[in-house]
Amino acid sequence: MSSTEELIKQELGVSKLRSTGQGGGGCINQGSAYETENGTVFVKFNNGAEAFEMFKGEYASLAALHASAVVAVPKAMKVIKNPKGGAMLVMEYLDMQSLSKHSALLGEQMARLHLHNAQLGQAQASAEKSVHKQKDTEGAEFVSQFGFTVTTCCGYLPQDNTWADSWLNFYARKIEQQVEFVEQKHNDRSARPVWTSLMPNLHKLFQDLEIKPALMHGDLWGGNAAETSNGPVVFDPASFYGHSEYDLAISKMFGGFGQAFFKSYHALLPKQPGFEDRLDLYQMF
């Protein structure tokens, strides 16, 4: 057993840690499944200097999605710093296959997720008017602003999730961050004129539109959704509270979601005027 596996064993407080031989990964992280006496876990590895912050954001995102009890995610267990460099994220292992028969159900669940925070707000307002006030100490709590509790990452790029009262201001800050990143890291200034011309007119895309903070997956492309025998699952989130259409824009960028997904989603959350134009804006991100 390697020293890294010994560290995982120690941090989880288990006496058994045996590789199942199953693994996975992408362009950023690698992962392996391990059997323990408490069940099978999946461990993501990254040797980068940014890995600990990145995994903390993913842990918080998984925890927030899990607390909603609307859509299934692997249960996050622990973020571990690796003394050799980088970090690890330990989570529940799920036996997943490509999304197919549960695509429509996932569309419905994502719509319910995007409605969930507003429903919590309504329930909170009703409870405050009641003479028998009783605080619910379990599950998700209503969030009134746009942002998130921690920094999350799009790839290695940290996202500024500082709370804001206005979605327009919050999203404009995200775009500015992206433009600055491209300029500083890649010496590419081609995006600056486009953003400079767009910014003064940004508000026109949101006229007469009431945007309530909704919990986002944050990176909802087809590669981050799958299914088990129990139903659909999403993973690898970079969550924040934002505009529900943001997740939809990302889901349309790289394929992987069929018409059944979008049909069931819009049955609960119909398209608002200007929807297509705002998708173009969100796909800039």
Just list the catalytic residues. 219
pLDDT at 126: 86
Same domain for 82 and 101, yes or no, is: no
> What CATH number is associated with residue 73?
3.30.200.20
Same domain for 134 and 197, yes or no, is: yes
Token pair for 247: 């997740």
Radius of gyration of the chain (CA): 20
Give the range among 21-25, 175-179, 227-231 with minimum mean pLDDT: 21-25
Residue pair 116/68 in contact by the 8 Å Cβ criterion: yes
Confidence of residue 134 (pLDDT cuts 50, 70, 90): low
Where does the chain have alpha helices with state H?
A: 3-12, 51-68, 103-129, 167-186, 191-198, 244-251, 259-268, 275-284
* CA 145 vs CA 14, 153, 165, 241, 262: distances in Å: 40, 19, 5, 7, 27
Same domain for 264 and 174, yes or no, is: yes
pLDDT at 157: 85
* pLDDT (tens digit per residue) in 245-268: 999 999 999 877 999 999 999 999
Residue pair 72/237 in contact by the 8 Å Cβ criterion: no
pLDDT at 138: 61
Confidence of residue 231 (pLDDT cuts 50, 70, 90): very high
Q: Which residues contact 263 (CB under 8 A, 6 or more apart)?
A: 104, 107
Q: 279 is in which domain, residue-wise?
A: 97-284
Within 10 Å of residue 259's Cβ, how many Cβ atoms? 10
Does the structure show a pLDDT above 70 at 71?
yes
Confidence of residue 140 (pLDDT cuts 50, 70, 90): confident
* pLDDT (tens digit per residue) in 12-36: 999 999 999 888 776 688 999 999 9
Instruction: Let me know the angle formed at the C-alpha of 235 by 229 and 236, rounded to the nearest 5 degrees.
Output: 160
Domain boundary among 72, 92, 112: 92
Confidence of residue 137 (pLDDT cuts 50, 70, 90): very low
pLDDT at 54: 96
Same domain for 141 and 204, yes or no, is: yes
Same domain for 172 and 83, yes or no, is: no
pLDDT at 95: 95
Confidence of residue 154 (pLDDT cuts 50, 70, 90): confident
Q: Residue 253 in 3-state DSSP? A: coil
Domain boundary among 92, 116, 144: 92
pLDDT at 139: 74
pLDDT at 22: 87
Residue pair 241/145 in contact by the 8 Å Cβ criterion: yes
Q: How many CA atoms lie within 13 A of 102 on its CB side?
A: 20
Q: Average pLDDT in the 41-51 region?
A: 95
Same domain for 187 and 274, yes or no, is: yes
Same domain for 113 and 143, yes or no, is: yes
Domain boundary among 48, 72, 92: 92
Same domain for 36 and 135, yes or no, is: no
Does the structure show a pLDDT above 70 at 280?
yes
- Considering the chain, what percentage of its residues have pLDDT values greater than 90? 83
> What CATH number is associated with residue 116?
3.90.1200.10
Residue pair 35/16 in contact by the 8 Å Cβ criterion: yes
Phi, psi of 193, rounded to the nearest 5 degrees? -60, -35
Same domain for 194 and 270, yes or no, is: yes
pLDDT at 136: 52
Same domain for 72 and 86, yes or no, is: yes
More confident residue, 29 or 242: 242
Same domain for 146 and 38, yes or no, is: no
* Mean predicted lDDT score pLDDT of the chain: 93
How many folded domains does the chain comprise? 2
Give the range among 147-151, 184-188, 232-236, 237-241 with minimum mean pLDDT: 184-188
Same domain for 252 and 128, yes or no, is: yes
Q: Residue 198 in 3-state DSSP? A: helix
